[in-house]
Amino acid sequence: MGRRYRILLVSSSGGVLLDLLALRPWWERHDPVWVAVRAPDTEVALAGQRVHWRPELSTRTRLRVLPATWRALRLLRRERPDVVVSAGTGVAVGVFLAARLLRVPSLWLETFNMTGPAGAAARLCSRLAAAVLVQRPALLASRPRAVLIGELY
């Protein structure tokens, strides 16, 4: 089968979670661990997975990014992922900052419903990411380091 990677998947609820779950054929061949926002859909969908529950982080509360990054640094040192993957929202910001500090590569996955300008978390995380995975060809021109992966579902 090849090398098993330690993958840290970072998600909130809703479409972001669905996009990361659509990658299951890839991540289930490895050693996944999750950082997720506790919500009814995340609790059900991630039942049986290793999950570190975190509160959602609004990019409007910039002072909360520092403690979130500190918690993420401790988590990344403990879990020692080979790669971090996220599709969005504020919970990913601290994790992507910590990954950059620890030189852990990260991948930003643009959600399929993203058609316009990226939000604050997406702009920051995509700058920190080694690559930005997009599902729509139209996003290739506007996302630096974009790689077209096509529709996930």
- 26-30 mean pLDDT: 96
CA distance 17 to 74: 23
- Which residues constitute the domain of residue 128? 6-148
Tell me, yes or no, whether 110 lies in a domain.
Answer: yes
Selection from 1-5, 16-20, 144-148 with the highest mean pLDDT:
16-20
User: Using one digit for the tens of pLDDT, what is the confidence trace for 66-86?
Assistant: 999 999 999 999 999 999 999
Q: Can you tell me the distance from the alpha carbon of 143 to that of 104, in angstroms, rounded to the nearest whole number?
A: 21
CATH number of 69's domain: 3.40.50.2000
Cα(66)–Cα(100) distance, integer angstroms = 14
Is this model's pTM higher than 0.85 or not? yes
Q: Output DSSP code: residue 3.
A: P
